[in-house]
Structure 1
Amino acid sequence: MNQSASTILIEEGNFFLEVYLDPFNKRIRIDDYRGNIHLALEKAEELARTHNAEKLIMKARLEDYLHLYEKGLQPEAIVDRYFLGSDAHFFSKFYSAERKKSDHWLTEDGMIHSIYQLDTSLDKPFPPKEYELKKADEECAGELAGLYRQVFKIYPTPLHDPEYVKKTMKEGTVYYVFFYQGKVVSAASAEVNSFYKNAELTDCATLKEHRKYGLMKILLRELEGELKRQGIFCAYSIARSLSFGMNAVLYQLGYKYRGRFINNCYIYDKLEDMNMWIKNLANC
């Protein structure tokens, strides 16, 4: 199976599907749908079988909740106000016992409990003046790809490739970066859904030796400001469930925990569970 991800649109007599085929992560995601939910789900499952997917994910609306239960899907996470103010319920179905099994679930539960005890009244970080904050442009693509290669052995999208980074920029993804001595040492992005007016804050990476200055909190705040200027108030982020630091950053920035995806994607060095965090930017 081709390892590059792609989005396909399926329009049949009684339903429409927007499908993200993700062979690298052995999954299929239904990003949007309308029409006959039963026929749409049958088509989604047919695609999962055809593409040998181990996991099917569907961004569903509340009114279709019970239909998905009937078809054997299970809820994993929620994004408040995802669909132009209406909540998105993320349902999943697994096609292998191994993909359904999480060895770290209790540890990850304990981490969420610990994070919710953290102080959220921390002062804003002020890194040394040698760190330069910038909104990235296409000239930064090589530097960005280099950073992601250094931080992540494996990543669920091809961010190790400068051409892919440029492609995401052309499609509306916004990157903010910190330079140190002419090199990008920290970065984060906002992947904007301009139709539904939401954005995923993602691609968060800082080189180990630069992690003590709170750079990521500053980058995420900058991205939030950019989103608000675009009239986008629904922000969400999906963090590695075993990364205390990234989950703590999101909690301290006012994000709320909204569930966990079992064996969601290949990241860092293996297939990992991922935590969902959301924030309503209209309230800040």
Structure 2
Amino acid sequence: MNQSASTIHIEESNYSIEVYLDPFNKRIRIDDYRGNTNLLIEKAEELAAIHQAEKLIMKARSEDFLHLYEQGFQPEAVVDRYFLGSDAHFFSKFYSVERKKNNHWVTEDGMVHSIYQLDTSIDKSRPPKEYELKKANEACAEELSGLYRQVFQIYPTPLHDPEYVKKTMKEGTIYYVYFYQGKIVSAASAEVNAFYKNAELTDCATLTEHRKYGLMKIILRELEGELKRQGIFCAYSIARSLSFGMNAVLFQLGYKYRGRLMNNCYIYDKLENMNMWVKNLATC
């Protein structure tokens, strides 16, 4: 089966759905839908069977919350104000016993609890002057891919490919990076949904030897400023549940924990749970 992800739109007389096919992560995600909920769920399950998906995810509207329960889905996370100010509920259905098993859940619960005890006072310190913050352009694609190759053995999207990075930039994804001695050492992006006015802060990576200066917090604040200038106030980020550092950064930046996506994607070196963090940029 083709390992590259793709988005397809299905329009029928009683419904329409936008489907993200993700063979690498053995999952299918319904990103948007309209019309007859029973029929579109039926279609989504049919696609899951055809593509041998182990997990089906649906970004559901609040009014369909109970209906998804009835259809055998379970709620995993919520993004406040995702749909032009209305909440999105991430529901999932699993199709293999292995995909539904997890040994880290209790540990990750404890980590979220300990993160909520952290100090949230704003750190105004800046990194040494050798570090230079810039908005990335297509000329940075090769080096950005190199950074992601160094930091992540496995990544759920093909960021190891410079052409893919360029493609995301053309589609509106914003990247900010830190340079040190002319080389990119830290980066993150905002994947913008221009229609629903939300953005996912993602692709956060810093080389190990440059992690002591809080570069990621500064990059994320810069991205938030850019989003606000575009009139986008719903920001969310999905962090590896076993990564204390990244979850702590989001909490200290004012993001609120909104659930966990079980065995969601292959990242770092294995299939991992991912924590959902959400922030309303209009309040800051």
TM over 0.5: yes
After superposition, the CA RMSD in angstroms is 0.5
CA distance in structure 2 between the aligned counterparts of 1:270 and 1:11, rounded to whole angstroms? 35
Secondary structure of the equivalent of 1:129? coil
Correspondence for 2:25: 25
Percent identity over the alignment is 85
Q: Tell me, what secondary structure is at the counterpart of 2:133?
A: strand
Deviation of 1:122 (Å) = 4.0
For structure 2, the residue ranges without an aligned partner over 5 or more in a row are none
Q: Is the 8 A contact 1:125 1:215 kept in 2?
A: no
| Structure 2 partner of 1:138 | 138
Map 1:126-275 → 2, pairs under 5 A: 126-275=126-275
Match of 1:4 in 2: 4
| SS class of match (1:218) | helix
C-alpha displacement of 1:98: 0.4
Work out whether residues 186 and 215 of structure 1, in 8 Å CA contact, stay in contact via their aligned partners in 2.
yes
More moved, 204-213 vs 119-128: 119-128
TM-score by length of 1: 1.00
TM-score calculated relative to the size of structure 2: 1.00
Counterpart Cα distance in 1 of 2:218 and 2:122: 13
**Cα distance, 1:67 vs structure 2:** 1.2
CA deviations on 1:106-150 (whole Å, 9 max, x unpaired) are 000000000000000142231000000000000000110000000
Moved over 4 A (4+): none
Q: Which residue of 2 aligns with 1:74?
A: 74
Residues paired across the two proteins, number: 284
State the one-letter code of the partner of 1:42: E
Establish whether residue 59 from structure 1 lines up as the match of residue 25 from structure 2: no
Q: Distance in 2 between matches of 1:225 and 1:43?
A: 39
- What letter is aligned with 1:45? E
Letter in 1 for 2:136: A
Quick check: 1:8–1:20 contact (8 Å CA) kept in 2? Answer: yes
Distance between the aligned counterparts of 2:123 and 2:81, measured in 1? 29
Q: Which amino acid aligns with 1:29?
A: R
CA distance in 1 between partners of 2:210 and 2:278 (Å): 26
Deviation at 1:66, TM superposition (A): 1.2
Q: What amino acid is aligned across from residue 189 of structure 1 in structure 2? A: S
Secondary structure of the corresponding residue to residue 262 of structure 1: strand
Partner Cα distance (1:137, 1:253) in 2: 25
Structure 1, unmatched stretches of 5+, are none
Q: Distance in 2 between matches of 1:186 and 1:165?
A: 15
- Structure 1, residues 8-41: CA drift from partner, whole Å, max 9, x if none? 0000010000000000000000000000000010
